[in-house]
Structure formats: structure tokens, C-alpha cells
Amino acid sequence: MKAVRVHRHGGREVLRLDEVPDPVPADGEVLVRVRSCALNHFDVDLRENVSRWPISLPWTLGIEFAGDVAGVGAGVEGLAEGDRVWVLHEIPCLECEYCLADQDNLCLAARMWSVQMPGGYAEYVAAPARAVFPLPDAVSYDVAAAGQIVFTTAWHMLITRGKVRAGETVLVSAAGSGVGHAAIQIAKLAGATVITTAGSDAKLAAAREDGADHVVNYRRENVTERALELNGGRGVDLVIEHVGGEQFGACLAALRKDGRLVACGGHAGEVVDLDIIPLFRNEWQVIGSRTGTTREIRLVMDLIAQGKLRPRVHAALPLAEAAEAHRILEGREHFGKVVLNT
Ligand SMILES: [Zn+2]
């Protein structure tokens, strides 16, 4: 089969289209013909070796994907050749204390595609049957691949960690990213007022289409001042922050007293200044958040199938153009997700 692999760590040139052996499904596994694999900034981090996850080279990237069942191993029930499916991006152990507490997103022994298992920049993947779920005809492969991680991450941030309530005001940083556009839609579904930021007017217009009530161009405007102004100086109830760097402090300062900031990423700066005085005087809550649990992932995929959440696919490129897909991602030109069609 064809697969795009990283041969050494570095720039986009290290992505190469290779011919590799087809995976063979073991007992309890399903062979999936990948049709669409979504990119995440994590892919770029793995490629550059700045992800803090070790991989052995050469290695196949691609953490979330959808496709068709192309074969089943012994003992697999309920899935048959030709079924349209999506695949859980991280497979929990089901045995550790977190898995037993319905927090399997914190599993101590999870296996993630493209980290512990070769990923979906490939024509075929062999997956444990328990990680493979039916994909309704109404949902395209691209949308299924694009929706899983960012919508689940945003769901976990807003609903589970941030405990958003109807009527609250939520500030979402970086509207154009995968998590940003997902967070806007989920916050609106939850009945919140949404203020969001982006660095271009085109992205802000798209954010309004996704339901954002107020938009702030962070290149032209002061995010803290505008966010405060937009809700009468009171401060926002909840910040969904996934950028880091200077935006972390700018968004934190826009919180009301006892407001919550939920953080899930830091590509603009992983280590930030934090002034402890306003933190305790205002009783701000800074909350870390990872991707969601399997239960949340399945719920989010159902909401996507119902049309209540709408992952945006900015670009779909053939597998051979993986380097160009990385270029789009690194250039931050996109609104929503970039996918590879294998
Ligand atoms: Zn576990």
C-alpha cells in the first residue's frame, strides 16, 4: 500500500510517499481502507520532533481518519466488509483507574494513532474492532475525519471542564483553528454568547457564519479591552484558550471574578507569564483540558451526524500532497480542517 512517512525529523521535505506492506488484521481487528485522514498541528510537531512524544523513524503520521471496512479478523462481530466507519483516535486500556472512572481520556496506557501505532497517512490501517464505529451515510469521510478530535476537545473544554451554562459569555481564542471553530459552534449550542478572535477579517466573517456574536481582530485591536467592552466591562465567564503565548495573558485578563480559563494548547508559546496577584485576587480558575472521553467522542460524532455540529473542511488534498497540506497548516491560512484523501 501507499503511505506517507517521516524519514527523519525536520521540515516538510521529510514527508515521503512510500510503498509499504499492507497491514494484516489480527484476531479482533478490522482492516480499514482509509478514505480521509485529518491533519492536526500535532502532526507538524511529531514531524519536527517537538511534540514531547517519541516516535521511531521511518514513521507514518495521521491521528484521526475515516474509511471503509476492507476485511475483518477472527472473532469480530457487528462489522462487515464495505461498512463505512470512523476510528477512535486514541484507544484506552479500559482497565486503569481513569478508564474505570469514565475518564478514559486520561488513560495511563492509551495507544494513539501516529504515536504508539502507525497512523492514517496510509491506504490501510488495522484497528481493534472496539475502536471502529459505523459512519452514517449522511456524514462524508472528510467531515468524519475532520470532526473527531477538535470537536471532542472543544466539547470537553466547554461542557466538562469549563461547565458552560446558557446565558454565559465565552471568549474563544483563534476562531480559525480546528478547536476554535468547533468551540464557537458548541458554545452556541449550549446557549452562550460568543466573543472570538482571529488575525484576519476573512476568518472573522467565517466565525460569524459559525455563530460568533462578536469578533475581535487581534492584529488591530486589544483583545482584553475589546472583550471587556463587549460585555459592559464585567468580564467574560469562560475563556477557551488553545493558543498560548501572549494571547493566554490577554484572554485571562478578560475574565470576570471567579471566571474560568480552560487551556488545551500552546503553539504560540508553551511557557507563559502568569501574574499570581490578579489570579488570586480575582479567584480566576485556570483549568487544563485534554481531548474528550470515548463517551464524549461518540456523542460529538452523533451530533455531527444530526447536523447540529458542522466541521469545516478547508482543504482536501490527495495523500501524495501531504507536504502541501502541512504547508497550509503551518501557514495558518485555513479556517477549519485540512484533510488528506488516501
Ligand atoms: Zn486506561
What would you measure as the largest C-alpha separation in the chain, in angstroms? 62
* pLDDT attached to residue 83: 98
Cα–Cα dist 82/68, whole Å: 6
* pLDDT attached to residue 173: 95
Distance in Å, CA 97 to ligand 1 centroid: 7
* pLDDT attached to residue 332: 82
In tens digits, what is the pLDDT along the chain, a chain of 342 residues?
A: 999 999 999 999 999 999 999 999 999 999 999 999 999 999 999 999 998 898 999 999 999 999 999 999 999 999 999 999 999 999 999 999 999 999 999 999 999 999 999 999 999 999 999 999 999 999 999 999 999 999 999 999 999 999 999 999 999 999 988 999 999 999 999 999 999 999 999 999 999 999 999 999 999 999 999 999 998 999 999 999 999 999 999 999 999 999 999 999 888 889 999 999 999 999 999 999 999 999 999 999 999 999 999 999 999 999 999 999 999 999 988 889 999 999
* pLDDT attached to residue 265: 87
**What is the pTM for the complete model shown?**
0.96
Question: Please, is 189 exposed, middle or buried when counting C-beta atoms within 10 Å of its C-beta (0-12, 13-18, 19+)?
Answer: middle
The grid coordinates listed for 92 are: 484506552
Distance in Å, CA 245 to ligand 1 centroid: 32
Give residue-wise pLDDT tens across range 169-202: 999 999 988 999 999 999 999 999 999 999 999 9
Distance in Å, CA 161 to ligand 1 centroid: 20
Q: Could you tell me what percentage of the chain is helix, strand and coil, using 3-state DSSP and rounding each to the nearest 5?
A: 30, 25, 40
How is 221-251 classified by DSSP, letter by letter? S-HHHHHHHHTTTS-EEEEEE---HHHHHHH
* pLDDT attached to residue 285: 98
* pLDDT attached to residue 334: 84
Nearest partner of 211 among 166, 237, 177, 181, judged by Cα: 181
Angle at 122 between CA 119 and CA 125, to 5 degrees: 65
> CA-based Rg of the chain, rounded to a whole angstrom?
20
DSSP H helices, the chain, are 41-48, 97-100, 141-155, 178-189, 201-209, 223-230, 245-252, 276-281, 294-305, 322-331
* pLDDT attached to residue 60: 97
Distance in Å, CA 242 to ligand 1 centroid: 25
Distance in Å, CA 105 to ligand 1 centroid: 8
Q: What is the dihedral of CA 277, 169, 185, 215, to 10 degrees?
A: -80
Cα–Cα dist 239/255, whole Å: 7
Could you tell me how many residues make up the chain? 342
The grid coordinates listed for 217 are: 481582530
Distance in Å, CA 126 to ligand 1 centroid: 21
Contact 58/284 with Cβ under 8 angstroms? no
Distance in Å, CA 106 to ligand 1 centroid: 7
Cα–Cα dist 204/226, whole Å: 14
Distance in Å, CA 290 to ligand 1 centroid: 15
Contact 326/11 with Cβ under 8 angstroms? no
